[in-house]
DNA sequence: TATGAATGAGAATTCATTCAT
DNA sequence: AATGAATGAATTCTCATTCAT
């Protein structure tokens, strides 16, 4: 009868977005409720009104970020037919472009925090399985269509995803010669060596 | 006049070890000076006597951990002649064996914390360069001796190290089917596919 | 224009009843406006609409409880002719029957709160004078009719009422061997020793 | 080796005394940690240093008050031979002399609070049993020596103690004509009527 | 009248740091 | 050198009260 529900949902999302920004900027342990409130343009009371405790707010923010990332990656492969192009699209969305990326710091904080919080471990686990399913699906399709070499899709997926994580960590932390371009180069090189040259592979297996 | 200096050095190291344990157990943000003091069997006053501030103590602890890890890896390849065996030895020392590993949580906390602390970024950078130099050196030696295929040693090193980081993160966070054994399997598979079958490669390149 | 006034009065009373329950259950200091509102099936806004402030609501609730208790005791002696029976009836209504009595906790909270709030002291004073007048009246009537011994009705009234208060406090707080039955026993024993055996007294006074 | 222990005990007691004063003055629900700290001449941190939580501090304060009261009453009958004199002494110490008594408000707050806190109920129960044992012992001794009439010492004790509680409550709350003198009058009148005139009783029982 | 989202003052609690002993 | 009692700034959380709808 009133537009209240949408107002509530919207307010909640604003707070979650503000929280994600704060986590990425100052780190999980330094986020203050008052920071989030200020950034969301509300009073601290509202945060507790919607989330009860700071901890709950932070957990929900991680959940929100995971969900947003998933939606973004799904959108990126919408209407992309070729497996190779789909893989490129997903990687392109996920890999950082600039050093000022706010997403990857968030994941780092999630992992560090999850070490001590089983619910966050569960969140990470579910998220990771989603990533695996997405990438592995693309690889399997590409193998079926002859675009990719026929190796263990699951193993390559794990190697690819974890290599990305590791590379982006060091890149984000300013490892020498590991800028965004170099990260992509190394990732694509791995993809090529693991899945590429389908011809040669087919040839070899004959 | 007295053997104090060594007593002091020893006391310092005890505190640093206690700090590392605490970080790994409860997380960087939850380490209290009093926890560290209790674990080291001293009073909080002593911690400040030796380190001035908590922040300094934590930074020094990370520094200490990095140094310990480096010494351990160097020791592991002492008197190992073959490049492949040296690579195996280094990986064996670094890869987790049990789920109750206290080292990798420490690195995760270091990375998350370094996002906000340039001095820690610098520490991580230096540490990473050490790792790279170590592994790359082994690979180059192996290529020179014909044990490894002649691909870009630097690229493979980066891919290998970051893949290890990424795999261990997920393994530590309880990813399904990613126990210590599986991590090693995937790592060794990558090593094999990237550097192995030197014959075939030589053959192919001819 | 509408039957609103009675609706308002009814709503007010519902809130007061809910407030009394809350005070008795969680204690004066722990009553939250939102608790009362929830129990009365309304929103917190309505509470302030009717009572202005929480303090006013709580004071009114005590006033309401005092008034209800008075009405109950008056009703209990309606159409009871003999003084002794009237005394029995009043005591019977007032003394707790079960341990789950919600009334006496309310009085305890009133007394504790009244220590700091003159308006509540005034309420308690007026209430107490009512009790005294009621009981003293019955005793005087009983003395006139020869049912009770001729001692100071006022003194006995005070002793009786305060003994009841004290006994019920300890009984409510779970004093060993002070259940509802034992409280009545002690009260009636006092009544008997103070007012009973009118014969003997008459005899003695002759 | 150092005078620390006594410093700690003393500091603890100072805080407890300050807490009791605050409870009596502003009421249990209005005591702020900062009030207690200011009154004890310390910082709020110290309160938590010694008591952990405000709740613990308040509970301990009640415990302290109970213990102090007991010691005072025991001291009052030290070296008093006659049972009647001992009873007089105990009552004299316990009954309020002025309206500005700080002790009885404390008991009222204890009772109200104990309704919601089993540990305080237990404290009250233990305290009450102490009072009963003390008074009942005196009465039994007086009966043995022929100073008191031979009625149920236990029942009279309960009636006496609860009447005192009830009288002091109303007196403290400013009941008309119930000043300290009148309270004593009524209490002593009860004692006399219940235990006095030992001769007559002895005579009657013969 | 009624709602309940929003406010913000107020209080408890934590913990790094200091310092007298 | 070492202790640990004491400090007090910083922060979370609560809840009466307001007010737009």
Among D70, D162, D157, which Cα is nearest to C170's?
D162
Mean pLDDT of A40-52: 96
Q: Do chains D and B touch (3 or more CB pairs under 8 A)?
A: no
Please state the rounded mean pLDDT for residues B79-85: 94
Specify the higher pLDDT residue, C64 or C201.
Answer: C64
Residue % of chain C over a pLDDT of 70: 92
Question: Is residue B163 within 8 Å of A159, Cβ to Cβ?
Answer: yes
Enumerate residues 6+ apart whose C-beta is below 8 A from B106: B20, B23, B24, B62, B65
* Cβ separation B125–A178 shorter than 8 A: no
Distance in angstroms (rounded) separating the CA atoms of residues A57 and C140:
69
Distance B45 CA to E18 C1' (A): 9
Q: Do C166 and D170 touch (CB under 8 A)?
A: no
Lowest mean pLDDT among A160-174, B17-31, C86-100: C86-100
Nearest nucleotide (C1') to the CA of residue D55? E12
d(CA A168, CA B155): 15
Q: Residue D104: which pLDDT band, with cuts at 50, 70 and 90?
A: very high
D104 CA to chain C: closest CA distance, Å?
A: 10
pLDDT beyond 70 at D94: yes
Task: Give the closest residue to F18 (Cα–C1′).
Answer: C45
> Residue D200 has what pLDDT?
46
CA–C1' nearest nucleotide, residue B40: F2
Residue C96 token pair: 């707790």
- Inform me whether the C-beta atom of residue C155 falls under 8 Å from chain D C-beta atoms: yes
Q: What pLDDT score does C201 carry?
A: 46
What are the start-end ranges of the H helices in C77-152? 83-94, 103-114, 118-144
The pLDDT value given to residue D98 = 73
SS3 B142: helix
Is C189 close to D161, i.e. CB distance below 8 A? Answer: no
- Claim: this prediction has a pTM higher than 0.75: yes
- CA at A17, C1' at F17: how many angstroms apart? 29
Got the DSSP string for D139-168?
Answer: HHHHHHTTSS--S-HHHHHHHHHHHHHHHH
Distance of CA A190 to the CA centre of its chain: 19
Each domain of chain B, given as residue ranges in start order, spans 58-204
Residues on chain D touching C163 (C-beta within 8 angstroms): 159, 162-163, 166
Closest residue to F6 by CA to C1' distance? D46
Of C80, C74, C77, C202, the C-alpha closest to C130 is C74
Residue pair A183/A168 in contact by the 8 Å Cβ criterion: yes
Distances (CA, A) of C77 to C104, C132, C145: 21, 15, 17
* CA D108 – CA D88 distance, rounded (Å): 23
Banded pLDDT at B5 (limits 50, 70, 90): low
Q: Which residues in chain B have their CB less than 8 angstroms from residue A125's CB?
A: 173-176
Residue C27, token pair as written in the block: 């204690």
Query: Alpha-carbon dihedral of residues C138, C142, C145, C150, nearest 10 degrees?
Result: -130
Find the mean pLDDT for residues D170-178. Answer: 93
Output the furthest CA–CA distance in chain A (Å, rounded).
69
Contact flag A170-B162 (C-beta cutoff 8 Å): yes
pLDDT band at D5 (very low <50, low <70, confident <90, very high): low
Q: Which of residues 21-40 of D touch C (CB under 8 A)?
A: 26-30
Distance of alpha carbon C117 from alpha carbon C81, whole angstroms = 40
Question: Which among B105, B165, B193 has CB closest to A169?
Answer: B165
Q: Helix, strand or coil for residue C151?
A: coil
pLDDT at D18: 97
Q: Which residue, A22, A140, A160, A148, is CA-closest to A95? A: A160
Superfamily classification of domain C58-204: Tetracycline Repressor, domain 2 (1.10.357.10)
Q: Which nucleotide is nearest to C57 (CA to C1')?
A: F16
A186 Cβ under 8 Å from any chain B Cβ:
yes
Q: What is the DSSP string of A34-56?
A: HHHHHHHTS-HHHHHHHHSSHHH
Q: What is the pLDDT of residues D110-164, one digit of tens each?
A: 999 999 999 999 999 999 999 999 999 999 999 999 999 999 999 999 999 999 9
Query: How confident is the model over A61-119, as pLDDT tens digits?
Result: 999 999 999 999 999 999 999 999 999 999 999 999 875 688 999 999 999 999 999 99
Residue D198 has pLDDT above 60, yes or no: no
């Amino acid at each position: 009868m009133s537009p209240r529900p949408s107002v509530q949902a919207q307010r909640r999302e604003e707070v979650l977005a503000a929280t994600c920004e704060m986590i990425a900027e100052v780190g999980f342990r330094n986020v203050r409720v008052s920071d989030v409130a200020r950034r969301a343009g509300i009073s601290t009371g509202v945060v507790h009104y919607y989330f009860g405790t700071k901890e709950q707010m932070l957990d929900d923010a991680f959940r929100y970020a995971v969900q947003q990332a998933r939606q973004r990656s799904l959108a990126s492969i919408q209407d992309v037919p070729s497996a190779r192009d789909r893989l490129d699209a997903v990687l392109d969305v996920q890999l950082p472009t600039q050093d000022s990326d706010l997403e990857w710091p968030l994941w780092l904080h999630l992992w560090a925090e999850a070490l001590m919080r089983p619910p966050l471990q569960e969140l990470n686990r579910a998220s990771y399985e989603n990533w695996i399913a997405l990438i592995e699906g693309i690889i399997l399709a590409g193998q079926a269509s002859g675009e990719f070499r026929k190796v263990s899709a699951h193993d390559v997926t794990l190697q690819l995803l974890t290599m990305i994580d590791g590379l982006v960590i060091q890149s984000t932390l300013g490892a020498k010669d590991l800028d965004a371009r170099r990260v992509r180069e190394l990732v694509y090189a791995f993809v090529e060596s693991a899945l590429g040259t389908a011809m040669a592979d087919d040839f070899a297996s004959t």
